[in-house]
Amino acid sequence: MCRLLGYLGAPIQLEKILYKPEHSLVVQSYQPRQMETALMNADGFGVGWYHQHQETNPFRYRNTTPIWSDINLPSLSRYVESGCLLGYVRSATPGLSVDMSNCQPFTSEGSSLSHRLLFTHNGYIDNFRKTLYRPIRNSLNDEIYQSIQGTTDSEHIFALILDELQTSPHITLEKALANALTSLSELANSYQAYFCATMIVSDGKQLLACRYASRSPAPTLYWLRDDSTYPNAVIVASEPLFDGNWNSCPEQSIISIGEDFEVHTHQLSQRSSF
């Protein structure tokens, strides 16, 4: 399991959200409170953000070392400001390598899509290489198939979202996420493969997150809006970063946050029967 963080709101220094909270993403890397399958997240990290005044692809800073040992991130996080960012600390699924190609956040840069996406995933597909690796890849169009650079189940789930967007260019990002979850559920049901998928995806203007699994419980996810320390903003995180009015995301649901920072919850049907 991993720990995720998403922020959409008034531009802030990355330091304020990555380091300042008492239970920050950095603290969660070595002292998580709500992880069931690992003790820490020491297999790399990544931060992705959008520049608030430029229509450019998102920026990323990633490393395969634990986030607490990276000597450059503290300085970088004091320099960079953004109104939309995603963060991630990794506990690698056994059998999946710790290298840069497997470091999240993933982006849509390898495709011809106009969507400038950042994506993070907490969860796993059980016995991925022997169950859904080939079925997922067989379901993708050639361009999205070729854009996959790493070996993780996470990137392949992201590829399902990108495939939906390329197949149906006019659908919303939320609809693409919902369709990808449906496809994943149907494949998992066919091959009797358990999966869990707590995810955050953004195009810089909206933030979408889901808490979903083929059987309960799904990995935790919380959101908080307009905290006094972070006004005009919504934070989404695997664990609360500090004491506050955090809301637990329901299982089998998508939450969407738009430019007005309103939070909408949409319940999804359970497709798996095992």
CATH number, domain with residue 75:
3.60.20.10
Sequence-distant (6+) residues with CB within 8 A of 16 are none
How far apart, in whole angstroms, are the C-alpha atoms of residue 47 and residue 226?
22
Residue 141: pLDDT band with limits 50, 70, 90: very high
Q: Is 108 helix (H, G, I), strand (E, B) or coil?
A: coil
Could you give the C-alpha distances from 245 to 228, 234, 253, in angstroms and in order? 10, 12, 20
Catalytic residue from among 2, 103, 210, 249? 2
C-alpha of 91 from chain center: 14
Report percent pLDDT > 90 for the chain: 85
Task: Kindly state whether residue 272 falls inside one of the protein's structural domains.
Answer: no
Residue 122: pLDDT band with limits 50, 70, 90: very high
Q: Is 5 helix (H, G, I), strand (E, B) or coil?
A: strand
Question: Cis peptide leading into 217, omega within 30 of 0?
Answer: yes
Asked if residue 270 has pLDDT above 70, the reply is: no
Task: Kindly state whether residue 274 falls inside one of the protein's structural domains.
Answer: no
How far apart, in whole angstroms, are the C-alpha atoms of residue 73 and residue 79?
10
Q: What is the pLDDT of residue 95?
A: 67
CA-based torsion, 128, 115, 178, 182: positive or negative? negative
- Per the CB < 8 A criterion, the answer to whether 223 and 255 are in contact is yes
Task: Kindly state whether residue 117 falls inside one of the protein's structural domains.
Answer: yes
- Per the CB < 8 A criterion, the answer to whether 166 and 143 are in contact is yes
Q: Which helix (H) or strand (E) holds 158?
A: helix 153-167
Asked if residue 231 has pLDDT above 60, the reply is: yes
Asked if residue 54 has pLDDT above 70, the reply is: no
The answer to whether 84 is a known catalytic residue is no
Q: What is the tally of structural domains in the chain?
A: 1
Task: Kindly state whether residue 45 falls inside one of the protein's structural domains.
Answer: yes
Report percent pLDDT > 70 for the chain: 96
Asked if residue 71 has pLDDT above 50, the reply is: yes
**Domain span at 240:** 3-267
CB atoms under 10 Å from CB of 72, counted, come to 9
Task: Kindly state whether residue 273 falls inside one of the protein's structural domains.
Answer: no
Asked if residue 110 has pLDDT above 90, the reply is: no
